[in-house]
Amino acid sequence: MTRLTLGNVVKVTAVLVFLPLIAYLVLVIGAVRKHVGAALEGLLYAAGFSVAVFVLDGAWGPRVLLALAAMGVSAVRAWHRRDLWLPARRRWWKRDLTGSAVVVERNRAQAVVAVEAAQPLPAAVARIRTLAERNRRRLPGDTHRTVLRTCEVLDAVIAAEQREPAGDARFEYELDAVVRQYLPAVLTGYLAIAPSRVQERQPDGRTPDEELTEQLRILAGQADALYASRHRLLTAELSTTGNFLRDKYAHHELDVPDLRIP
């Protein structure tokens, strides 16, 4: 990573040209970057400098001290906040290597998902569990336990479906999507990210760790919903059968032939 870029050189040159107004630099940075904290801090330095220049009288004394203090503190704080206006860039040869690594990891993740799609559902769940166990040290917080619990629920749903198929196309689609697509894609997508970057804030304000936790929570809820839906389908089917039998036989006497010997 380097800050020696053309854009940064132009910015520093502009600061040097307008050096007497450096007390306003933090305010300008905050306003341009829409950073409230920097803008309020810069407003303090700018106000102090403005008071020293336009309000106080005298060639020396408090006026000069206040102006120099505002300029000096603003310059130091601008350097402390350099990430806002002098962003670091990865060197081009490292940038290419990083991009290639990301492409390789993404292709690997897609290949894993493709393998999942070709496997039976129990084998796909077992593969997810193995992947989580193998990378348990990389998974943040309670996400490892969340994956294992989700796999247990999915195993129960799949076993029940294999014993007695519900015959509901939407239910089968949702179960297949969670097991073969969504859950493997979330795990492999997270593991494709370099460990050093899982704490970096993304444009939406979330880190990859937070995204993984949230998405696994959603998938765990979906697994529970499938489990409950499975039992509702069976209960509804049993009730339908019962209603049919009651309507057909409950209010009619069976015509049983008299088989007694005279």
Region 68-87: mean pLDDT is 88
CA distance 184 to 96: 28
| CA geometry: angle 249, 252, 253, nearest 5 deg | 110
Both tokens of 147, joined, read 């994956």
Residue 261 confidence (pLDDT) = 53
Helix-strand-coil percent breakdown of the chain, rounded to 5? 75, 0, 25
Region 166-177: mean pLDDT is 86
Residue 71 confidence (pLDDT) = 92
Contacts of 136 (CB under 8 A, 6+ apart): 144
Residue 72 pLDDT grade (very low, low, confident, very high; cuts 50, 70, 90): very high
Question: Diameter of the chain by CA atoms?
Answer: 139
Express each pLDDT in 197-248 by its tens digit: 888 888 888 899 999 999 999 999 999 998 888 777 667 666 777 777 777 7
Express each pLDDT in 29-55 by its tens digit: 989 888 888 899 999 999 999 988 888
Per-residue buried b or exposed e for 121-141, using 16+ beta carbons within 10 Å of the residue's own CB: beebbebbbebbeeeeeebee
Q: Which long-range contacts (CB under 8 A, 24 or more apart) does 134-142 make?
A: 135/187, 135/191, 138/191, 138/195, 139/190, 139/212, 140/198, 140/209, 140/212, 140/213, 141/209, 141/213, 142/213
CA distance 65 to 59: 11
Express each pLDDT in 153-171 by its tens digit: 999 999 988 888 877 788 8
- Tracing tokens 């704490």 back to the chain, one arrives at 199
Q: Are 132 and 139 in contact (CB under 8 A)?
A: yes
Helix (H, G, I), strand (E, B) or coil at 194: coil
Q: Would you tell me how many other CB atoms lie within 10 Å of the CB of residue 230?
A: 20
Mean pLDDT of the chain: 81
Residue 143, phi then psi, degrees to nearest 5: -65, -30
Express each pLDDT in 84-131 by its tens digit: 888 776 554 444 444 444 454 555 555 554 554 557 889 999 999 999
CA distance 244 to 254: 16
CA distance 241 to 238: 5
pLDDT at 256 over 60: no
Q: Which long-range contacts (CB under 8 A, 24 or more apart) does 94-99 make?
A: none
